[in-house]
Amino acid sequence: MGKYLFFSLERFRVFLPNFLLSGLFLLWYTSPVMKTMTAYERMKRMYEHKEADRVPVTDGPWGSTLEKWQKEGLPKDVGHWDYFGLDDIAGIYADNSPRFPAKTLEETEEYTVQFTPWGVTCRNWKHAGSVPEFLDFTVKDPDSWKKVKEMMTPSRDRIDWKWFEENYRKMRSRGAWIFAYLWFGFDVTHAWLIGTERMLVAMAEQPEWISDMFNHYLDVHLKLFQMIWDAGYHFDEIHWPDDMGYKNHTFFSLDMYRNILKPVHKKACDWAHAKGIKTKLHSCGYVEPFIPDLIEIGVDMLNPLEVKAGMDPVALKKKYGDKLGFQGGLNAVLFGEPEKMREEMKKIIPAMKKNGGYIISSDHSVPDSVSLQEFGEFVRLAKELGSY
């Protein structure tokens, strides 16, 4: 567009006064599509299903990946998002945990075993990209839950007000898109409170108990974020993790989702939309059967579209792209084969970016097989392919 206008102006320069030429150039240069936008402006347009200067680009490395990148030249005092020029998408947090006293129970060169504020004992690996290994749980039945529930009450001391005073205005002034990170639902409850097998059995046999946990997690967090909002620290989106699937299957039936979890998801969406802000759900695994219900309750964007689990991002875009935004859909397995990843990007990104509604990222965290240079190339190509 810019090149075409330039040659048009040159061709007709003899017919146009200089002030008209200047005005036309200014109109072109300040076009909302062509100018360089902030992360906030890009994200807003994606959620509106409109095109921007380019699609936002973001991704998250494992700790072991950061460790490798720092050995390859990433300064320790520079965030990877700044180093690579990723979009400035910033999270804010509040503590809705039972606040058990955290402590380290064991430490070796390879791992630490910790007792967490959620009352869970887990092993964290120091030099490998992995989720924690959950070893033991304090909550194992409705009675033990009642005791822990009493420890989860909203109070102002669960919010780091000093952090907000020092950082909020900086985030806004640099054009960041700000999300509130909620912690509730199936995924975080089974992993960080009671255990997967216990959760799945209880969803079938003790649904009232499970529903109470889901709702209490959310209610406490919404009250905390309401305090933050009322203090003038506004955000643009709520975002919560709730992995509901694995390879080619969901963890539970659609009926079970509708009866137990969907009402809690809807409560979160209604709270956000009442404030005029957006909602994003992170759900790994195969979750396509849930998508019509997610749209119905007001989820605005779905992440990460895990390809290896059976999610087809281009097909989802064609089927639901006018109603739902998407983030991800680039198979992280292909990071180990850069040429294949580049070919995948050339296939996926042009299709997903049409009419907005897309954020570029892999469908999982960036593994430690990826070098600093290779990820830089990933970001460069993502911006190129994501440009409008």
- Specify the pLDDT at position 10: 34
160 and 130, same structural domain? no
Report if residue 143 sits inside a domain.
Answer: no
N- to C-terminal Cα separation, the chain = 10
Which uninterrupted H or E stretch holds 146? helix 142-149
* Sign of the Cα pseudo-torsion (347, 350, 354, 360, in order): positive
253 and 110, same structural domain? no
> CA 80, CA 75: separation in Å to the nearest integer?
9
Which positions ≥6 away from 250 have C-beta within 8 Å?
244, 257, 285, 286, 287, 289, 290
The residue count for the chain? 388
Half-sphere exposure of 349 (CA within 13 A, CB side): 25
pLDDT per residue as tens digits for the range 214-261: 999 999 999 999 999 999 999 999 999 999 999 999 999 999 999 999
Domain with 122, as residue range(s), is 101-137
Mean pLDDT score across all residues of the chain? 92
Q: Which two tokens stand for residue 93?
A: 């947090």
Cβ–Cβ under 8 Å, residues 284 and 309: yes
pLDDT per residue as tens digits for the range 44-83: 999 999 999 999 999 999 999 999 999 999 999 999 999 9
- Specify the pLDDT at position 34: 53
pLDDT per residue as tens digits for the range 15-48: 333 333 334 333 333 444 458 999 999 999 999 9
> CA 334, CA 344: separation in Å to the nearest integer?
8
217 and 128, same structural domain? no
User: DSSP characters for 59-119?
Assistant: --B-HHHHHHHHHTT--TTS-HHHHHT---EEEE----S--PPPEEEEE-SSEEEEE-TTS
358 and 311, same structural domain? yes
The CATH number for 189's domain is 3.20.20.210
- Specify the pLDDT at position 130: 82
132 and 254, same structural domain? no
Count structural domains, the chain: 3
Which positions ≥6 away from 247 have C-beta within 8 Å?
285, 286, 308, 309, 310
Report if residue 144 sits inside a domain.
Answer: no
Asked whether the predicted pLDDT for residue 159 surpasses 90, the reply is yes
Q: Residues 107-114: what's their mean pLDDT?
A: 96
% of residues, the chain, pLDDT over 90 = 89
% of residues, the chain, pLDDT over 70 = 91
Half-sphere exposure of 191 (CA within 13 A, CB side): 14
236 and 352, same structural domain? yes
Predicted TM-score of the model (pTM): 0.90
Report if residue 59 sits inside a domain.
Answer: yes
Which positions ≥6 away from 376 have C-beta within 8 Å?
84
Peptide bond connecting 304 to the previous residue in cis, omega within 30 degrees of 0: yes
Which amino acid, one-letter code, is at 185? G
172 and 23, same structural domain? no
Which positions ≥6 away from 323 have C-beta within 8 Å?
295
67 and 109, same structural domain? no
Report if residue 142 sits inside a domain.
Answer: no
Report if residue 239 sits inside a domain.
Answer: yes
273 and 128, same structural domain? no
